[in-house]
Structure 1
Amino acid sequence: MTGAMNFNEPAERVELRAAVADLAAEYGSEYYRARAKEGAYLTELWREAGKLGYLGVNIPEEYGGGGGGIGDLAAVLEELSAAGCPTLMMVVSPAICGTVLARFGTPEQRQRWLPGLATGESIMAFAITEPDAGSNAHRITTTARREGGGWVLNGRKTYISGVDVADAVLVVGRIEDEDTGRLSAALFAVPTDTPGFEARRIEMDIVSPDHQFQLFMDDLRLPADALVGDPDAGLLQLFAGLNPERIMAASLATGSARHALDKAVAYAKERVVWRDRPIGAHQGLAHPLAQVKIETEQARLMTQHAALRYDSGDDAGAGEAANMAKYAAAEACVRSVDQAVQTLGGNGLASEYGLGAAIAASRLARIAPVSREMVLNYVAQQSLGLPKSY
Structure 2
Amino acid sequence: MNFNLNDEQRQIYEYGGQLAQSYDNVYWRDHAKRGAFPSEMFDKIAKDGFLGIMIPEEYGGSGLGMTEMALFMEGTGNHGIPLLSIVIGPCMSLPQLARNGSDFHKNELLPAACRGDIKFCFAITEAGAGSNSMKMTTMAKQKGNRFSLSGEKTFITAADVSDYCLVVARTSALDKVAKKTDGFTLFAVDLKKKGIEMQRVRISIPLTEEQWTLYFDDVDLGPEDVVGEIDNGFSILFDTLNPERIILAALCCGIGRFALNRGVEYASERNVFGQPIGAHQGVQHPMAKAYTNIEMASLMCRRAAWEFDNGLPSGESSNMAKYAAAEAGIEAVDAALQAHGGSGFTEDTGLYEMYPMVRLLRTAPVNRELCLSYIGQKVMGMPRSY
TM-score bucket of the superposed structures, by smaller chain: over 0.9
Conserved in 2, the CA contact under 8 Å of 1:101 and 1:114? Answer: yes
Which residue does 1:308 correspond to in 2? 306
Over 3 Å counting, the alpha-carbon distance change for 1:59 and 1:283 in structure 2 is same
TM-score between both structures, scaled by the size of structure 2: 0.96
Over 3 Å counting, the alpha-carbon distance change for 1:27 and 1:291 in structure 2 is same
Q: Summarize deviations over 1:233-289 as a string: whole Å, max 9, x none.
A: 3112111111111111111111111111111111111111111x1111111111111
Which residue does 1:18 correspond to in 2? 14
Which residue does 2:245 correspond to in 1? 246
| Whole-Å separation in 1 of the counterparts to 2:184 and 2:222 | 18
Conserved in 2, the CA contact under 8 Å of 1:144 and 1:154? Answer: yes
- Match runs of 1:213-252 below 5 Å: 213-252=212-251
In the TM superposition, residue 9 of structure 1 has moved relative to its aligned partner by 1.7
Which residue does 1:259 correspond to in 2? 258
Over 3 Å counting, the alpha-carbon distance change for 1:120 and 1:208 in structure 2 is same
Which residue does 1:152 correspond to in 2? 148
In the TM superposition, residue 108 of structure 1 has moved relative to its aligned partner by 2.2
- Match runs of 1:1-390 below 5 Å: 6-176=2-172, 184-275=183-274, 277-314=275-312, 316=313, 318-390=314-386
| Whole-Å separation in 2 of the counterparts to 1:326 and 1:180 | 34
In the TM superposition, residue 383 of structure 1 has moved relative to its aligned partner by 0.1
TM-score between both structures, scaled by the size of structure 1: 0.95
Q: Summarize deviations over 1:175-199 as a string: whole Å, max 9, x none.
A: 128x966661111111111111111
Identity among equivalent positions (%) equals 42
Give structure 1 regions of 4+ aligned residues with deviation exceeding 6 angstroms: none
What residue identity is the alignment partner of 2:211? Q
Q: Summarize deviations over 1:55-98 as a string: whole Å, max 9, x none.
A: 21111100111100011111111111111110111111011101
Conserved in 1, the CA contact under 8 Å of 2:172 and 2:184? Answer: no
Conserved in 2, the CA contact under 8 Å of 1:197 and 1:216? Answer: yes
Q: Summarize deviations over 1:196-215 as a string: whole Å, max 9, x none.
A: 11111111110111110111
| Whole-Å separation in 1 of the counterparts to 2:116 and 2:78 | 21
What residue identity is the alignment partner of 1:295? N
Q: Summarize deviations over 1:125-153 as a string: whole Å, max 9, x none.
A: 00001001010011111111112531100
Conserved in 1, the CA contact under 8 Å of 2:53 and 2:69? Answer: yes
Conserved in 2, the CA contact under 8 Å of 1:333 and 1:365? Answer: no
SS at match of 1:25: coil
SS at match of 1:186: strand
What residue identity is the alignment partner of 1:350? T
| Whole-Å separation in 1 of the counterparts to 2:199 and 2:385 | 35
Number of aligned residues = 383
In the TM superposition, residue 118 of structure 1 has moved relative to its aligned partner by 1.7
| Whole-Å separation in 1 of the counterparts to 2:264 and 2:116 | 34
SS at match of 1:366: helix
SS at match of 2:353: helix
Q: Summarize deviations over 1:14-52 as a string: whole Å, max 9, x none.
A: 122223321233211100011122331111111011111
What residue identity is the alignment partner of 2:259? A
| Whole-Å separation in 2 of the counterparts to 1:378 and 1:131 | 22
| Whole-Å separation in 2 of the counterparts to 1:379 and 1:306 | 14
Conserved in 1, the CA contact under 8 Å of 2:77 and 2:258? Answer: yes
SS at match of 1:144: strand
What residue identity is the alignment partner of 2:7? A
Gap runs ≥5 in structure 2: none
Conserved in 2, the CA contact under 8 Å of 1:20 and 1:54? Answer: no
| Whole-Å separation in 1 of the counterparts to 2:231 and 2:36 | 39
Conserved in 2, the CA contact under 8 Å of 1:144 and 1:174? Answer: yes
What residue identity is the alignment partner of 2:333? V
In the TM superposition, residue 8 of structure 1 has moved relative to its aligned partner by 0.9
Gap runs ≥5 in structure 1: none
What residue identity is the alignment partner of 1:174? R
What residue identity is the alignment partner of 2:149? L
